[in-house]
Amino acid sequence: MLFLKEFRKPRKFNSYLTSGPWNIYQVDLFSLSRIMKYMGFEKKDVEASKGPWVLNCIDMYSRYLELEYVGESEAMVFVKQAFKKILAKMGKPFQVQADDEFNTYKFREFVKIEE
């Protein structure tokens, strides 16, 4: 007896093509409080603040990940300091992709100056 599998459309993925490593970085901020909540920390400890914050940076070619602690505040001053540390480790990319939270004039000017 022959069993046929039902045909399903393949999932659509967003693929980013890059010519080589250290060319395109994607950056984002995330809060450790969500991880703490998942790990079972006390509710009062997690809800006391939305931080601490961590900046992550991923090289799109090699998938190399670098994390840098930002602190309790997600102020752009601290984010820029963390991003400087990441650039010192990973090198300067050709392009940086980020969420709207990074779409501020000050951060864009900072990235241009660092080139």
Rounded CA separation 37/31 (Å) = 11
Q: Which domains does the chain have, with CATH numbers?
A: 24-114 (3.30.420.10)
pLDDT score for 1: 46
pLDDT score for 5: 54
pLDDT score for 4: 54
Give residue 19's Cα distance to chain centre: 20
Element spanning 54, H or E: strand 53-59
- Regarding pTM above 0.75, the answer is no
Rounded CA separation 88/104 (Å) = 22
Residues of the chain with pLDDT under 50: 1, 48
